Structure 1
Amino acid sequence: MISLEKEGGYWLAVIDRPEKANSLTPEMLERLCEIAEAAVEARVLVLTGVGKVFSAGADLEAARAGLATSPLWERLSGAIAALPCLTICALNGTLAGGAMGMALACDLRISVPGAKVFYPVMKLGFLPQPSDPPRLAALVGPARAKMILMAGQKVPVEEAQVWGLIDRIVPPDHLMSTARALAEDALGAAPDHAAAIKGLIR
């Protein structure tokens, strides 16, 4: 349910469980962690999904069994954020719940039109993973972070782009070609050069 395609330094990880809104089981989340940790060998890592939803976060049954508060979410976002390469989240649809963490940890976020982003931790009675609120606030500001995390708003990606959460909105049939085009300079650069630029921005 998580596939990985490698083309030279271009790594593409795909969440493929569209019949369940790409919700993640513990095994799927563990696999994403392994991919992110191994991507120190990549020049570019792209995350995307199949269907109309990028990911609904934790699978409902798994969430009830404790996945919603699993340290795997923080392990995944931490591994992505620590990568020296360019990371791109290509949202094929709505982004929800714990899946927000991996998107926030990426360098760039692009999306198809009509998608929404939301993180209903207040409603569900969970705390977000520790690194998610500061990363969200760094992108959109404290008030808008509270709009998502405390007011539970489902924000259209068109509005999220104005906020700074989404970097580009493209038609569905151009999503992956756009991700690839954004990757070209990083793919052509020496790994230590890309890492140095990323380090300066940090």
Structure 2
Amino acid sequence: MIRLEQDGGLWIVTIDRPDKANSLTPEMLEELARIAETAQEAQALILTGTGKVFSAGADLEAARAGLATSPLWERLSGAIARLPGLTVAALNGTLAGGAMGMALACDLRISVPTAKVFYPVMKLGFLPQPSDPGRLAALIGPARAKLILMAGQKITAQEAHAFGLIDRIVEPDALMATARELVADTCAADPQVARAIGALCVS
């Protein structure tokens, strides 16, 4: 249900459980974290999904069993944030719940026009994962972060783009080609130079 494709220095990770809105089980989350932790030598990493939803977050049954508050979410987003290569979340559809963390940890986010973004943890009685609010507020500001986390708003791709949460809106048939185009220069560059530039861009 997690597919990894390696093309030279480019790693493409696909969440492949479209019949369940790409919701994540503990095993899938563990696999995603393991891949992110072993991708230190990758020059670029693209995260995407199959179907019309990028990920609905935790699988419902797994969430009831404790996955919603698992440290695996933070382990995954932390591993992605530490990657020295360029990371892109290619959102093939809606981004919801705990899955927000892995997208926020990426350097760039592109999305199809029909995607929505929401994170209903407060309604469900949970706190967001520790790093998510800070990363969200750094991208869109504290008021808009509260719009999503506390006002419970579902944000359209167009609103998310205007906020700065999504960097580019792309038609579905061009999503992966655009993601590959965005990482092409990094993959072709001297890895040490690319990593040094990435480090300079961190405030």
Q: Under a length normalisation based on structure 2, what TM-score does the superposition of the two structures give?
A: 0.99
For residues 38-80 of structure 1, give each alpha carbon's deviation from its aligned partner in whole angstroms, at most 9, with x where no partner exists.
1102110000000000000000000000000000000000000
Structure 1, residues 123-164: CA drift from partner, whole Å, max 9, x if none? Answer: 001000000000000000000000000001000011000000
RMSD of aligned residue pairs (Cα, Å): 0.4
Runs (4+) of structure 1 exceeding 2 A deviation are none
Q: Partners in 2 of 1:41 and 1:200 — Cα distance?
A: 19
> What corresponds to 1:129 in structure 2?
129
Match of 2:28, SS?
helix
User: In structure 1, what is the Cα distance between the partners aligned to 2:196 and 2:5?
Assistant: 26
Q: What letter corresponds to residue 82 of structure 1 in structure 2?
A: R
Match of 2:26 in 1: 26
Range that drifts further, 183-192 or 79-88: 183-192
Once the two structures are TM-superposed, the CA of residue 195 in structure 1 deviates from its matched residue by 1.0
1:182 is matched with which residue?
A: 182
Partner of 1:148: 148
Cα distance in 2 for residues equivalent to 1:194 and 1:106: 16
Inter-partner Cα distance in structure 1 for 2:146 and 2:200: 29
Structural mapping, 1:1-202, within 5 Å: 1-202=1-202
- What amino acid maps onto 1:51 in structure 2? G
Amino acid at match of 2:7: E
1-structure distance, mates of 2:24, 2:153: 22
The one-letter code sitting in structure 2 at the alignment partner of 1:142 is P
Distance 2:184 2:16 in 1: 25
Unaligned runs of 5+ in 2: none
| Contiguous gaps of at least 5 residues in structure 1 | none
Q: Secondary structure at the match of 1:134?
A: helix
Shift in Å, 1:186: 0.3
The CA distance in 2 between the partners of 1:138 and 1:114, in whole Å, is 24
Residue type at the aligned position of 2:176: M
User: What is the aligned-residue identity percentage?
Assistant: 76
**TM-score of the superposed pair, with normalisation by structure 1:** 0.99
Question: Per the alignment, in what secondary structure is the counterpart of residue 117 of structure 2?
Answer: strand
Equivalent residue letter for 1:185: D
Query: What CA distance in whole angstroms lies between the structure 2 residues aligned with 1:171 and 1:136?
Result: 24
Residue identity matched to 2:18: P
Letter matched to residue 92 of structure 2: N
For 1:151 and 1:125, locate their aligned partners in 2 and report how far apart those are by CA, in whole Å.
14
Aligned-pair CA distance for 1:114? 1.2
Which residue identity is paired with 1:175?
A: L
